Amino acid sequence: MGSDKGSPPNLLLKLGANIFLAGILSIPFSVLSAVLAYYILVEALQLPLAVVIGLAPVYYLIAKWCFRLFFLVLARAQLKPVEEGHFEADFRNSNVRNWLVNISLVDAVKYFVGNPPLGQTFLRPSLYKFLGAKLGKTVSLDDVTDPYLLEMEDGAVAGGHSFIVTHISRNGGLYLKKVKIGRNALIGIRSTIMPGVEVGEGAIVAAGSLVPMDAKIPPYTLWSGIPARQVKSLKEEAKDQT
């Protein structure tokens, strides 16, 4: 007989409940927007009722974004704490269960709210910060699997289509580890950063590189390749710029 690994949390039920609740909460705001439009346009400005009816697409957008924002808030409120490390694929383990809940909520937020929100890339840091990422000033990034396991210091940039991975299946279990990106570090476009990577201040990861798990990139160095390796030191160039 195989060992009892327990049963996984009912993720579909949890997501369905969140979708239903976000929909219910968004209804009053959607109705209120239509009522306000009627009184302002018809009663106050004496415009034809046809104008109010013609604004139906606007009410739809308001309703959609009320739903998305409520879903985002509900998801954030339900994110659970997880510990770093390697865990056996055992659903009785609270850390594994918490991670399963978190990843389902984060992926649902990306689907409903958008990645980036409203199609604007400058909103990504705010979204990930709300979901638990520790981000400094003027940070830019594209995608991260578990925002609450990411730390980026001031001025750090992860270019377009770069992917920051903070969990991976390893030796039949789940490996969770923070990714830390130092001040003014640059991750090139279409690069992948694996769990446990630490990128030092002013370091550069060339475009299209894959930084292997738990790699430690020293400050002011250039790394490139698959897997990424140090190509050269950037300390002299950094001195010239100061």
Whose tokens are 């995608």? That residue is 143
Tell me the β-bridge partners of 173: 88, 170
Please check the confidence at residue 142 and state whether its pLDDT lies above 60.
yes
pLDDT at position 39 is 84
Q: Residue 30: which pLDDT band, with cuts at 50, 70 and 90?
A: confident
State the average pLDDT over residues 96-118. Answer: 91
DSSP summary character for residue 183: T
Residues 6+ apart with CB under 8 A from 53: none
> Per-residue pLDDT averaged across 204-219, rounded?
97
Residues 67/113, Cβ–Cβ less than 8 Å: no
Of the chain, the percentage scoring pLDDT greater than 90 comes to 69
Q: Is the peptide bond before 117 cis (omega within 30 degrees of 0)?
A: no
The values of phi and psi at residue 168, to 5°, are -160, 150
Mean per-residue pLDDT for 112-137? 89
Considering the chain, what is the average pLDDT of its residues? 91
* pLDDT tier at 1, thresholds 50, 70, 90: very low
> Range(s) for CATH 2.160.10.10 in the chain?
124-242
The two three-digit tokens of residue 171, written as one number: 């030796």
Instruction: Taking residues 132-149, report their average pLDDT.
Output: 96
Q: What is the reported pLDDT for 239?
A: 65
Residues in the chain: 242
Residue 242 has what pLDDT?
A: 59
Q: Which positions ≥6 away from 47 have C-beta within 8 Å?
A: 41
pLDDT of residue 240 exceeding 80:
no
CATH class for domain 124-242? Answer: mainly beta
Q: Are 72 and 130 in contact (CB under 8 A)?
A: yes
Residue 3 has pLDDT above 60, yes or no: no
What do you get for the CA distance between the two ends of the chain, in Å?
66
Alpha-carbon separation of residue 157 from 16, 26, 63, 162, 219 (angstroms): 35, 35, 34, 10, 15
Percent of the chain with pLDDT over 70: 96
